[in-house]
């Protein structure tokens, strides 16, 4: 019982960063941009989040804001490279991972391994004390709830606004969008920038809420897991919550299982999230009609001058 | 036409045109300009960290190219880099983005270590058997993503990358568990016997890994530039739909290239285990995966240029290593320099493909 309560209570903390990053990637990919650099952008968001927190009077809010600003800048640079300069999206994305790791490694030295108190969970008398589901539902930090609001907003934006419709059109069929007077490049640049904000925020969350410390390369592949999550979510925001809960559940399970002393070798436990991601990718591929959900122009640059 | 925010230029606007052809001189100067830009940014970063200009010159130019000990350490450093560069190039040619080179290197080193640990085969054949095991283990690790890609269209970037983590944790599990060094109880493998180490060739510290790299280079060069498979794979890389339409076995070529890539990455793991570390370690593959990608990208996936770029990258590794020691710079330095250079070169390709022109309104 204790085990279940704890596991449920910690699951959202592991799920939220994945959902946030996946949201950013969904916005990117819906506009046709494949940003494989999420891992690097998250790292920068994490470091900038910690720096702002420590240097600006221990305010988590400022940490989150500057963390997402770092994501905005990197997202914009990524967008500028792939949209305006038409660089190869795969090469640019992978390079951004190393860029993020290198920048944080070089600049972050004074702030590495400094524990912070970070953001604290809310407490509502009575509600939080409900057995089993009390802390799970009513004992999270603010950003977990904000994440859910973001999911709703992104869904509303993509499916209930004209801008969202046009953004999706750019990702599905840029030729047709262009012919209808939609500025393909501007939309893609915008998507890369807004997506970057979410990815940066996700990194700041990792540092300020989950780990409460910045460690070199602390993202540990979460950016890649988020990319796989988008495929699992079939590019739909609300399904990212399901995927986030699945992976968050697995990650939250690892420290709990270690604590109970179940005789599973430690490093096989650490392997679990990556194995699960692989399994989810295969599951998504095996699904009937899968692949049809992907934006049709995903990863394909649009160059009006190259049009046949 | 770029219409973003450039319209404010009065009565004029910046348009881009596709170049029909580009002169060699212009092409080379754009590339050199990009390289100088990238190197300039890197120098600025190093200066910002308190490194002196004269010592950058000393470390990167004088010591690495005009000093016998220096040049031999560059050669030693470039042996695995040639291998990972070839591994990446073979896969990238068919648009199989093998990001899993590090995992395949670990597998190669595990294969070699299994032979060394259990003394498989007579001592005289020990090294060739280790090499073959390493290649097979590398192929094994690449085969999963290869099959998933051609059968189920699973994105190979993610699957190969995930397998890096899985291989890494497997190595940790072995090194902290059953394969821990029985002598000093440290989490690294038992040291290889003399017969299981690649011997030195007799000049400075250069070892017979040079032969492994040369052998791999010749095989890859022949396959890519001379064989039917190479020509088909070029076709698949440039236009897979057309290749399928004319009846080429596209799936086989893609999967075959991916596995070949895995075998070369496995060989790189073997070289590091048998010639540098003399054992299995969990840090041995760090940084090589991205280096392979960088080398293949800058070399345009051609075997000969891969060797040249790998050599230059070797000098970056050697110079970066001493920079790290003297100025206590972080491990991430080499990766950061690589990333900056790749980004400037890839961005410069825009100016190779297109021409910017200031057009007045009314022009068409």
Q: How far is A128 from chain B (nearest CA, A)?
A: 37
Q: Look at residue A307 and tell me if it is in a domain.
A: no
Supply the pLDDT for residue B11. Answer: 54
Question: Is the pLDDT assigned to residue A240 strictly greater than 90?
Answer: yes
- The verdict on B20 touching A (C-beta cutoff 8 Å) is no
Helix axes A162-172, A2-30, angle to 10 degrees: 70
Question: Is the pLDDT assigned to residue A234 strictly greater than 80?
Answer: yes
Question: Is the pLDDT assigned to residue A152 strictly greater than 90?
Answer: yes
- The verdict on B136 touching A (C-beta cutoff 8 Å) is no
- All residues of chain B having their beta carbon less than 8 Å from the beta carbon of residue A91 are 293, 297, 342, 346
Give the pair of three-digit tokens for residue A212. Answer: 């409460």
CB A106 to CB B152 under 8 A? no
Contacts of B218 (CB under 8 A, 6+ apart): none
- Judging by beta carbons within 10 Å of its beta carbon (0-12, 13-18, 19+), is residue B128 exposed, middle or buried? exposed
Residues of chain B with pLDDT > 90: what percent? Answer: 62
Supply the pLDDT for residue B8. Answer: 47
Shortest CA distance to A306 belongs to which of B16, B23, B30?
B16
Cβ-contact A8, A132 below 8 angstroms? yes
CA dist B93 and B258 (Å) reads: 10
Residues in chain B: 364
Residues of chain A with pLDDT > 70: what percent? Answer: 97
Question: Which chain A residue has the Cα nearest residue B147?
Answer: A282
Supply the pLDDT for residue A288. Answer: 56
CB A186 to CB B4 under 8 A? yes
Q: Look at residue A303 and tell me if it is in a domain.
A: no
Alpha-carbon dihedral sign for residues A265, A266, A267, A273: positive
CA dist B94 and A10 (Å) reads: 44
Q: How many domains does chain A have?
A: 1
Half-sphere exposure of A57 (CA within 13 A, CB side): 2
CA A16 to chain centre: 8
Q: Give the right CATH number for B74-328 from 3.30.300.20, 1.10.3470.10, 2.30.30.240, 3.40.250.10.
A: 1.10.3470.10
Residue recorded with tokens 């390709």: B349
Q: Look at residue A308 and tell me if it is in a domain.
A: no
Phi-psi region of B186 (alpha: psi -120 to 50; beta: other; left: phi over 0): beta
Q: Look at residue A173 and tell me if it is in a domain.
A: yes
Give the pair of three-digit tokens for residue A99. Answer: 């860029």
Question: Is the pLDDT assigned to residue B360 strictly greater than 70?
Answer: no
Alpha-carbon dihedral sign for residues A175, A176, A181, A186: negative
- Tens of pLDDT, residue by residue over B305-319, are 999 999 999 999 888
Report pTM: 0.92
Q: Look at residue A305 and tell me if it is in a domain.
A: no
Q: Look at residue A285 and tell me if it is in a domain.
A: yes
Shortest CA distance to A102 belongs to which of B347, B40, B334?
B334
**Local confidence band at A308 (pLDDT 50, 70, 90 cut-offs):** low
Residues of chain B with pLDDT > 70: what percent? Answer: 95
Residue B218, φ and ψ in degrees, nearest 5: -65, -45
Which of the pair, B17 or A75, is modelled with greater confidence? A75
- The verdict on B24 touching A (C-beta cutoff 8 Å) is no
- All residues of chain B having their beta carbon less than 8 Å from the beta carbon of residue A282 are 148, 152, 154
Supply the pLDDT for residue B229. Answer: 92
Which of the pair, B1 or A207, is modelled with greater confidence? A207
Shortest CA distance to A39 belongs to which of A104, A114, A123?
A104
**Local confidence band at B67 (pLDDT 50, 70, 90 cut-offs):** confident
- All residues of chain B having their beta carbon less than 8 Å from the beta carbon of residue A86 are 350, 353
- All residues of chain A having their beta carbon less than 8 Å from the beta carbon of residue B158 are 224, 227-228, 231, 277, 281
CA dist B6 and B4 (Å) reads: 5
ipTM, 2 decimals? 0.91
Q: How far is A3 from chain B (nearest CA, A)?
A: 26
CA dist B212 and B161 (Å) reads: 26
Q: Look at residue A10 and tell me if it is in a domain.
A: yes
How would you write chain B as a 3-class SS string? CCCCCCCCCCCEEEEEEECCCCCHHHHHHHHHHHHHHHHHHHHHHHHHCCCCHHHHHHHHHHHHHCCHHHHHHHHHHHHHHHHHHHHHHHHHCCCCCCCCHHHHHHHHHHHHHHHHHCCCCCHHHHHHHHHHHHHHHHHHHHHHHHHHHHHHCCCHHHHHHHHHHHHHHHHHHHHHCCCCCCCCCCCCCCCCCHHHCCCECCCCCCECHHHHHHHHHHHHHHHHHHCHHHHHHHHHHHCHHHHHHCCCCHHHHHHHHHHHHHHHHHHHHHHHHHHHHCCCCCCCCCCHHHHHHHHHHHCCCCHHHHHHHHHHHHHHHHHHHHHHHHHCCCCHHHHHHHHHHHHHHHHHHHHHHEEEEEEEECEC
**Local confidence band at B363 (pLDDT 50, 70, 90 cut-offs):** very low
Radius of gyration of chain A (CA): 19
Which of the pair, B361 or B143, is modelled with greater confidence? B143
Give the pair of three-digit tokens for residue A234. Answer: 């079939």
The closest CB to that of B330, out of A96, A109, A271, belongs to A109
Question: Which chain B residue has the Cα nearest residue A307?
Answer: B18
- Tens of pLDDT, residue by residue over A96-128, are 999 999 999 988 889 999 999 888 888 888 888
Helix axes A266-286, A237-260, angle to 10 degrees: 160
Phi-psi region of A259 (alpha: psi -120 to 50; beta: other; left: phi over 0): alpha
Question: Is the pLDDT assigned to residue A290 strictly greater than 70?
Answer: no
Question: Is the pLDDT assigned to residue A244 strictly greater than 60?
Answer: yes
Question: Which chain B residue has the Cα nearest residue A81?
Answer: B347
- Tens of pLDDT, residue by residue over A20-51, are 999 999 999 999 999 999 999 999 999 999 99
Question: Is the pLDDT assigned to residue B5 strictly greater than 70?
Answer: no
CA B178 to chain centre: 31
CA dist B144 and B357 (Å) reads: 48
Could you tell me the CATH number of the domain that includes residue A218? Answer: 1.10.3470
Which of the pair, A108 or B64, is modelled with greater confidence? A108
**Local confidence band at A289 (pLDDT 50, 70, 90 cut-offs):** low
Supply the pLDDT for residue B1. Answer: 43
């Amino acid at each position: 019982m204790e085990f279940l309560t704890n596991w449920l209570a910690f699951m959202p903390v592991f799920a939220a960063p994945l959902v946030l990053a996946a949201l950013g990637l969904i916005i990117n990919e819906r506009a046709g941009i494949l940003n494989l650099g999420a891992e690097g952008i998250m790292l920068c968001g994490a470091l900038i989040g910690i720096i702002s927190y420590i240097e600006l009077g221990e305010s988590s809010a400022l940490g989150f804001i500057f963390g997402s600003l770092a994501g905005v800048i990197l997202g914009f640079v990524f967008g500028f490279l792939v949209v305006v300069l038409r660089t190869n999206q795969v090469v640019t994305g992978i390079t951004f991972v190393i860029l993020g790791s290198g920048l944080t490694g070089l600049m972050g030295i004074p702030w590495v391994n400094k524990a912070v108190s970070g953001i604290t969970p809310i407490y509502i008398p009575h509600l939080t004390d409900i057995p089993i589901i009390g802390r799970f539902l009513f004992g999270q930090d603010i950003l977990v709830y904000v994440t859910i609001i973001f999911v709703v907003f992104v869904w509303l934006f993509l499916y209930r606004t004209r801008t969202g419709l046009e953004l999706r059109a750019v990702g599905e069929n840029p030729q047709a969008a262009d012919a209808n007077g939609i500025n393909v490049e501007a939309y893609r640049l915008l998507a890369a920038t807004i997506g970057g904000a979410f990815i940066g925020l996700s990194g700041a969350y990792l540092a300020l809420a989950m780990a409460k410390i910045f460690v070199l390369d602390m993202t540990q592949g979460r950016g890649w897991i988020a990319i796989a999550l988008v495929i699992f979510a079939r590019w739909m925001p609300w399904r990212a919550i399901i995927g986030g809960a699945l992976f968050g559940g697995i990650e939250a399970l690892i420290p709990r299982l270690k604590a109970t002393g179940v005789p599973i070798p430690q490093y096989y436990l650490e392997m679990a999230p990556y194995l699960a991601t692989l399994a989810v990718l295969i599951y998504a591929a095996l699904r009937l009609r899968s692949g049809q959900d992907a934006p049709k122009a995903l990863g394909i640059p649009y160059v009006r001058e190259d049009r046949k | 036409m770029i219409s973003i925010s450039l319209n404010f230029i009065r009565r004029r606007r910046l348009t881009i045109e596709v170049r029909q052809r580009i002169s060699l001189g212009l092409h080379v100067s754009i590339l050199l300009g990009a390289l100088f830009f990238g190197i300039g940014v890197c120098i600025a970063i190093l200066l910002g960290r308190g490194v002196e200009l004269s010592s950058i010159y000393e470390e990167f130019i004088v010591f690495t190219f005009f000093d016998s000990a220096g040049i031999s350490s560059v050669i030693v450093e470039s042996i695995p880099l040639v291998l990972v560069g070839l591994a990446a190039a073979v896969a990238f040619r068919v648009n199989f983005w093998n990001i899993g080179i590090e995992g395949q290197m670990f597998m190669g080193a595990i294969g070699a270590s299994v032979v060394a640990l259990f003394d498989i085969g007579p001592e005289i054949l020990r090294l060739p058997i280790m090499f073959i095991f390493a290649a097979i283990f590398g192929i094994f690790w690449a085969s999963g993503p290869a099959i998933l890609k051609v059968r189920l269209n699973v994105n190979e970037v993610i699957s190969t990358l995930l397998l890096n983590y899985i291989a890494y944790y497997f190595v940790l599990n072995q090194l902290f568990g059953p394969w821990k060094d029985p002598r000093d109880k440290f989490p690294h493998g038992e040291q290889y016997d003399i017969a299981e180490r690649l011997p030195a060739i007799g000049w400075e510290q250069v070892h017979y890994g040079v032969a492994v790299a040369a052998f791999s280079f010749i095989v890859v060069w022949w396959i890519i530039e001379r064989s039917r498979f190479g020509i088909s794979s070029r076709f698949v890389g440039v236009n897979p739909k057309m290749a399928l339409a004319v009846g080429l076995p596209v799936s086989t070529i893609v999967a075959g290239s991916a596995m070949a890539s895995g075998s070369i990455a496995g060989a790189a793991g073997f070289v590091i285990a048998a010639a540098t570390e003399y054992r299995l370690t969990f840090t041995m593959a760090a940084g090589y995966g991205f280096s392979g990608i960088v080398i293949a990208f800058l070399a345009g996936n051609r075997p000969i240029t891969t060797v040249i770029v790998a050599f230059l990258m070797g000098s970056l590794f050697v110079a970066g290593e001493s920079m790290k020691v003297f100025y206590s710079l972080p491990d991430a330095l080499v990766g950061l320099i690589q990333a900056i250079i790749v980004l400037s070169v890839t961005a410069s390709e825009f100016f190779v493909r297109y021409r910017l022109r200031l057009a007045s309104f009314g022009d068409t």
